[in-house]
Structure 1
Amino acid sequence: MGLKVLLVDDEYIVLKGLEIMLGEQKEVALELMTAMDAVDAMEKMDFWQPDVIIADINMPEVDGLTMLEEIYRGNPECKFIIVSGYEDQEYLKRALRLHVADYLTKPVDKACLIHRLKEIGEEKQTKQQHTLLKIRLLLFSGERFQPRELTDDEIRRLFPDTYFALCTAGVFSSEAEKLRYRIAAYFDNCYMFSQNNWSVFLINYSVRISEEELRSLLEETFSGMACGICLFNGENLGAGIRNITLPYQTALCDLVLSLLPVSQSMKESTAERITERTLQPAVKVLMFEYSISDYINTAYDPGRDTPFNFLLVFTEALAAYIMIAGIYLPPETILQLYRAQAETVHDKKTLSLFMEKTLNFWYDSFTPTEQEQYSSKIAMACGYIDLHSGQDIALEQVAAYISINPSYLSYIFKKETGSTFLQYLTNIRLQKACRLMADNPELSLDEVAARTGYHSASYFHKIFRGKFGISPRQWLQKERNCT
């Protein structure tokens, strides 16, 4: 999407010349719209929110600065570039109060204007990436991340249209990017978020369409690949995006239900009940914060038959697992698991046994054997940290390497090792620093810090003293005295 620029000038020749000049340049992608006066410009603001307004300040009826002052009150993120035939000190003072991006005199310097637009475009892109990162954390970290700084204005800038659809699918990021381009051909805006073999598409569009129409279009775009969807509108845009975990849960459950051999009415009843409950009870079971018996007691509906209760628990458990582990099971595996277990569930007791058996199956890859100190996943994580401790590494990096949700990795890492990720990384780095100093006493503190993953000797010194109670040099002297 290009930088949206509104050109405002009461002189048609000047306005058209500016439009042609910016339309022909290739340095920065632009979407252009023109207005002949302030009234025309403010009317267009109602349906087209520009990133930049380039306006002549000398216009009849309403001058350019008065127009910009009015626009600024409702659109503080919009950038203003003022064009004038002469410099006026009073105009300059008012422009400064509006944080005007630039003040250009006629005739406009083409290179200067394009360079400034390019800078604003790069700034817009950086802000968008920052907003998308916050939304990604909301999606994949759930309630463990609450970006209160995610403002309505930056959300509106990213999603200018009224309607939304969230679509989930089991597909790797490389393939998901191709799918995003296909989806973007039909909708105004489409953003993609991937984690391991799992992807989420957030679609924003201006015309209301039915769920059936959207599902048909997406299924065709995805070439028959299973996907789950949730539609919602932007009447309360900020709250809708900040609570995006809820439509994400709905889409996950929709995906699971779409694969199961049950009637449409049962699917709809189950989805409705899960929406009321949310996936939090199932998530708490997976995170060891809730017992299986307590979970089954809240999930079980004595007024419904066993197949319905089993479908509810199966869907919740699997959707919650996908949400916190970030790992998608193939459709055939999901279907096989459902059919095999459905025959074993007859009542509340056997439903609890099913849940226990299912959780044990999922925990196998996270549980240490008698011969191992850590589970296979945590052993892989520790190995990765040991190997890359001299570099800048983050929890998200390790989680991606072992294909697991970062928040879930943080939990099981602390549970198995007794240390947080950062504590473990610090201990590994300091152990390597001690070995390095003992084997190479001639190394400077800067060299030791750099080789063990610290950017400055002063920070390394602070961490080392915090851990051992003495400075690195004092530690080395002590080591020499002991040998």
Structure 2
Amino acid sequence: MHTMLKAALFDDEFIVLKGLIKLIDWQSCGVELVATAKDGLSALEAVREHKPDIVLTDIRMPGMNGLELIETIREELPDTKCIVFSGYNEFDYVKRALTLGVIDYLEKPITLAKIKEGIQKAVERIETQSQVSRLKHEWEQELLAKKVKDLVLQGGEDAVSHWRGQSGMEAAQVVGVTVAASSEDVFTMTGDSSYKLIPVRVDKEHVAVIFHYDLNDEAWKDELLAKEQATIGSGCTYRSPAEAALSYKEALRALRYGKYLEDQGWTRFEELGDPSAIDPHLSDREEEVLFQLRIGDKPSLMNTLDNFLVEFKKERLEPEQAEMELLRLVLLGLEAAKETGGNHAEIKPPGYLPQMELRRMQTMEEMAAWLRKEMEGIIDWMLRIRNKAKHAAVEKAIEYIDSHFGRDLTQQEVADHVAMNVTYFSLLFKEQMGLSYIKYLTNIRMEKAKELLGEGVPVQEISERVGYYHARHFAVVFKKYTGMTPGQFRLKGKGS
């Protein structure tokens, strides 16, 4: 045991009490003597005040006898171990003491060897019980993590039911769930009265499932903001735990884009656009192709396609099934091209019928070459449109941000203002400005906050004027940006 156990000693005989206090080396027994008493009522008061781990008590005491005391201890402090001693060797006393679960029953006169043996027995029992409790807690936490992982991977009412069964009463208090993901091991179990964060490992990703008890409290956001050296993506917050799987899928997508946009920091799925944009039927391969199309990474796209085609040929699919899979990839690429806002009809001539082109092909090699050519044409067109539209669109967006940063300004609203798909806009903005939309908005807000702090404006008012409804959240962001709290920054300004 690393911490000293607490013991209390009660006996109505002054000589016995003093003798035991002096003669026993309590520390070598692994305990600290925290209380003594000569009558039962004073003993009960001491027990309630000090909550000892071990009680050594005489049976015959005025006010309340030792057995009555043990009975009360058993009700109020069931983990406390009791040792009794008495000069009366009566079977009824022994039987009742054993019924009450005493560790040892010692007859007077007590030898030091006997009492040390009794104390050691109590210490060992407590250590064993503590170890069992720890193992039980670890086992329960492991089971809970498994149920939470099932909730993330499967979603639905069955997974929720199993999670509720493992979580007990806490589950009834949950009013929402948010999932975050990182490639780094940065999440630990934490929380407060408004949320609980449970970390789980899902494949290669480290995942945090945040159960909300109060959706109006944003303390959980401070938790993620504090992981500034890691790249984190988070999904939307949903009221039903059954939708944890959707939030997880969104978190993975946000993480992927966050790595491209920020390298480090927290990217929220809401920043990437409408949650309905997630297609639950997309395969990992299709997600990868769409991602590379959107960011305009032609070498990676062509390499992904080449790797896909190698595996595709090995599968030896029926011609109709092969046609459907290749056709779906091309159609997804054309949908991604629409996000540019350009005239995507320019990519292909009127009456373009890719399914008819595929059907005319005789070999898998022809199909593979066709797919490569089609996707290369799509990304080349997207890159040309991007280069033409980039400067004007971002300039227009910056003007809008500079005029509206003092309120809740979503990336979706700014993208709508410049008539662009929000995901495409976020990538274009990063390419043009060298930093993400959210980081640019934060920089604008923090510079304005520094200016207002210098003017002596109250922190709560500054928080609201630069677009933060909660002063605590504003303070966390400000410290991350400047290395100082708003108060420290104001004092430094006065001293300069």
- Which category of TM-score, normalised to the shorter sequence, fits these structures? 0.3 to 0.5
TM-score of the two chains, using structure 1 as the length reference: 0.38
Instruction: Specify the structure having the higher radius of gyration (Cα).
Output: 2
TM-score of the two chains, using structure 2 as the length reference: 0.37
